[in-house]
């Protein structure tokens, strides 16, 4: 057991919550991600607390407070800084099946730490005594940049297969090498990832993608075989293409999740929608990512070709233009395209941007006529309408001057 003192500079709000619980005789510790990140020199506000107090007690001591996942014994408490802190009663697993756990309250911090996944996540810190309690030597693993399971790896993965992907994420995020025993068990557990729900796989992936550099985590997904199990659609990607995709993803800001997803799922081609549905992405997210992936295939206009610029915008959509250009630039850097090609791309982008700025119509909704005008011409409403309006748009794309109500009605009459 490794105990030592350290000042992790917990926020005053955390100290105050712990103080109130300890004053009533309830042992209370900070645990998990905040302790780990503080030891690594980072700081964050989401300090999670573990306590011997049961949820009803926590709720009485702190008002307002809200039960969140009461079955897990977690109460959300508002700190004096206005932030929400999660206070969770010590617990132990009594039954696990690889996907869910049945838990009960425990009396001891040590029982609570024993059910945590990795040693670096099983370090407790007492914000009043400024003392670390680290029964699994997580600090040594942090110092040596090692990811290691708490206890017997094969058993720990079998209790909850989500730990497989969590481990890949932590190793990627903190550049940890995975301990041999943990790695061997992890690889053996990979085929069981099919038992996890799409939601959990998706949430994990989004956490990987939210890191500034997502490449190390994604590389581990592939190296461990997890990628092929949870995203079989990506199985055919060759090494060189994969390396390019990782560079492209890291070349896109981490807040631009849809762009990163379009890069990652791009090779799934026509299967992107089905894949994202399985992962329970929302319809809006699916639409956005599939549209971006598809738009990447639209040929950019040559220098000076404004008509081509309008065509491109029509195909890609005004609202997606900036994102598609971002993907194009990230793609060129990732391909290590020669300078000539990049200059060319910049010129092409400028054509598109000038069309965008001109306000010239590139969509049916931007035409000077609509379905009502067709009705006044005596045309019976029906699917013909969209064909006629598309034909008007064809004409307006070639010559924006045509976008005038009278001239367009004339154009329609000619067609009738
Ligand atoms: P992050 O920075 O991603 O939030 P975190 O360490 O805070 O990292 P959480 O998922 O928020 O991760 O979980 C908090 C803590 O709860 C973890 O540090 C770990 O101790 C424990 N934990 C979470 N999920 C599991 C799990 N599936 N198995 C075992 N322990 C877990
Ligand atoms: Mg967390």
Query: How many angstroms is it from 369 CA to the middle of ligand 1?
Result: 57
Q: Which two tokens stand for residue 60?
A: 């009485």
- 266 Cβ below 6 A of ligand 1: no
Task: Give the range with max mean pLDDT: 35-49, 143-157, 369-383.
Answer: 143-157
For residue 163 and ligand 1, the question of a CB distance below 6 A is answered with yes
Q: Which atom of ligand 1 is nearest to the CA of 207?
A: 3
* Average pLDDT value for residue range 341-355: 96
The ligand with the least distance to the CA atom of 33 is 1
Residue having the nearest C-alpha atom to atom 17 of ligand 1: 32
CA dihedral 163, 165, 169, 172 (to 10 degrees): 110
User: Can you tell me which residue has the tokens 């109130």?
Assistant: 20
Helical ranges in 337-400 per DSSP H: 339-358, 371-376, 384-398
Question: Which listed ligand is nearest to 30 at the C-alpha?
Answer: 1
In short, whether 33's Cβ falls inside 6 Å of ligand 1 is: yes
- How far apart (Å, rounded) are the C-alpha atoms in residues 110 and 74? 18
pLDDT of residue 2 exceeding 60, the answer is no
pLDDT tens-digit series, residues 165-190: 999 999 999 999 999 999 999 999 99
**Regarding predicted confidence, which is higher, 6 or 59?**
59
Of 348, 343, 345, 346, the residue nearest 305 (C-alpha): 348
Q: Provide the pLDDT for residue 124.
A: 98
110-156 pLDDT per residue, tens = 999 999 999 999 999 999 999 999 999 999 999 999 999 999 999 99
> Is pLDDT above 90 for 70?
no
Output the six-digit token pair for 206. Answer: 């989004």
Nearest protein Cα to ligand 1, atom 28: 117
Measured CA to CA, the distance from residue 199 to residue 206 in angstroms comes to 10
Q: Is the CB of 234 under 6 A from ligand 1?
A: no
Residue 105's CB is within 10 A of a number of other CB atoms, namely 16
The reply to whether the predicted model has a pTM over 0.75 is yes
CA of 163 relative to ligand 1 center, distance in Å: 9
Residue 381 confidence (pLDDT)? 87
Residue nearest to atom 5 of ligand 1 (CA): 33
DSSP letter at 101?
E
pLDDT, averaged across the chain: 95
Does residue 69 carry a pLDDT above 90?
A: no
Query: How many C-beta neighbours within 10 Å does residue 378 have?
Result: 7
Mutate to test the pocket of ligand 1, among 121, 133, 211 (most ligand atoms within 8 A of CB): 121
Distance CA 305, CA 299 (A): 12
Helix crossing, 215-224 with 198-209: angle to 10°?
Answer: 140
Smallest-distance ligand from the CA of 98: 1
């Amino acid at each position: 057991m490794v105990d030592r003192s350290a000042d992790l500079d917990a926020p005053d709000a955390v100290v105050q919550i712990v103080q109130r619980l300890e004053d009533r005789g309830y042992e209370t510790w900070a645990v998990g991600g905040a302790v780990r990140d503080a030891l690594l020199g980072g700081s964050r506000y989401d300090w999670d607390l573990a306590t011997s107090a049961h949820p009803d007690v926590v709720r009485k001591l702190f008002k307002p407070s809200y039960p969140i996942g009461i079955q897990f014994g977690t109460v959300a408490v508002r700190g004096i800084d206005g932030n929400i802190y999660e206070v969770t009663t010590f617990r132990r697993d009594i039954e696990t099946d690889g996907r869910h756990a049945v838990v009960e309250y425990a009396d001891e911090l040590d029982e609570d730490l024993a059910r945590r996944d990795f040693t670096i996540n099983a370090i407790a810190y007492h914000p009043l005594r400024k003392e670390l309690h680290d029964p699994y030597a997580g600090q040594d693993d942090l110092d040596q940049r090692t990811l290691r399971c708490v206890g017997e790896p094969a058993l720990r993965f079998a209790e909850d297969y989500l730990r497989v992907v969590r481990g890949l994420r932590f190793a990627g995020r903190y550049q940890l090498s995975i301990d041999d025993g943990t790695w061997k068990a992890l690889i053996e557990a990979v085929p069981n990832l099919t038992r996890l729900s799409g939601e959990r796989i998706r949430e994990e992936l989004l956490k990987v993608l939210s890191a500034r550099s997502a490449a190390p985590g994604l590389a581990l997904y592939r190296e461990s075989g997890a990628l092929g199990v949870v995203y079989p659609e990506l199985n055919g990607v060759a090494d060189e293409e994969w390396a390019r995709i990782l560079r492209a993803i890291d070349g896109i800001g981490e807040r631009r999740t849809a762009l990163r997803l379009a890069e990652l799922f791009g090779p799934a081609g026509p299967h992107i929608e089905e894949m994202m549905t399985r992962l329970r992405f929302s319809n809006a997210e699916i639409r956005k990512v599939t549209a971006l992936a598809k738009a990447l295939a639209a040929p950019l206009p040559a220098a000076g070709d404004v008509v081509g610029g309008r065509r491109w915008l029509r195909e890609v959509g005004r609202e997606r233009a900036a994102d598609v250009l971002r993907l194009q630039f990230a793609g060129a850097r990732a391909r290590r395209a020669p300078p000539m090609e990049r200059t060319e791309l910049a010129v092409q982008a400028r054509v598109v941007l000038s069309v965008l700025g001109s306000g010239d119509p590139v969509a049916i909704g931007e035409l000077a006529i609509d379905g009502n005008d067709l009705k006044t011409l005596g045309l019976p409403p029906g699917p013909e309408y969209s064909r006629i309006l598309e034909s008007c748009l064809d004409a307006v794309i070639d010559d924006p001057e045509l976008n005038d109500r009278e001239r367009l009605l004339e154009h329609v009459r000619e067609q009738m």
